[in-house]
Amino acid sequence: MVQISFEFFPPQTDRGRTNLLRTAHRLGAFRPAFYSVTYGAGGSTRERTFAAVARLREAGLNVAPHLSWGSDDEAHVLGLLASYRKLGVDRLVALRGDVPSGIGARGQVRHAEDLVRLIRRRVSEPLKLEVAAYPEVHPEAPSAAADIDYLKRKIDAGANGCITQYFYNADGYFYFRDSCIAAGIDVPIVPGVMPITHAANLMRFSDKAGAEIPRWIRKRLEELDGDGDAVSAFGAEVVTALCRRLLRDGAPGIHFYTLNKAGPSTAIAAELGLG
């Protein structure tokens, strides 16, 4: 069975909070396994993330909050986790997370592997844990082989599955998946997909995140920039074709990075017949 999920960021305004719930309900037509909610660098969106998760849970939706160490100690992490459990959360996305400026210098950085081990050691109730994977190699990893080793350590610590950074090269995903299998990683590796709606924003964010935009896509987006409808149409065509191949050739599902917008992900999922 194909696993579909959608990712949100915690909104800052009342309008954004209302829109988030509307977006989630609209995407519910595709029967997602869960909706994830991101967690800012060093826990900078802690309250907003919790509020978004609570609001979605009150609406009866399955939610997987992102959780990372930041500068928190074990007590703070476990306290937040206990609050999520009271909401009925049964899945988390365990991350190192973005490191805010100055944290590393104080020796506070701990990794997702450590967070997974802490949760498995201290939480007895059933809890699914997802971790991040990087088909195009994490920007800070010394090598592709080392990156896969880091991933295997997270799985060995008790993670149940992986969600990848978004990408636009299906061959890269399948090569990565096969390399993971060869390394003894036997959990689902769900590809993350970012709909294309705004050329300049995508390029800026991708350059920062270490996500490669193939040259042919980048050049076409440069040509279309300024024509929002044309960019959206081209983006929908490209990402739908990417998803179709991923699912055809054995990817276990799709995780959509929605940017809190229903339209682009809805168009792609509908074209794929996921509804």
Q: Give the residue numbers annotated as catalytic, written as ranges.
A: 7
Residue 264 vs residues 23, 231, 257: alpha-carbon distances, Å: 11, 12, 10
Between CA 272 and CA 156 the distance in angstroms is: 34
The radius of gyration of the chain's CA atoms, rounded to the nearest angstrom, is 18
Q: How many other CB atoms are there within 10 angstroms of residue 262's CB atom?
A: 19
CB–CB of 10/258 below 8 Å?
Answer: no
CB–CB of 29/6 below 8 Å?
Answer: no
Question: To 5 degrees, how large is the angle CA 250–CA 255–CA 257?
Answer: 145
| Residue 251 phi, psi dihedral angles, 5° rounding | -60, 140
Between CA 264 and CA 196 the distance in angstroms is: 8
Q: Which string of b and e fits 146-183 if b means at least 16 CB within 10 Å?
A: ebbebbbbbbebbbebbbbbbbbbbebbbebbebbeee
CB–CB of 58/50 below 8 Å?
Answer: no
**3-state SS, residue 176:** helix
Between CA 69 and CA 133 the distance in angstroms is: 18
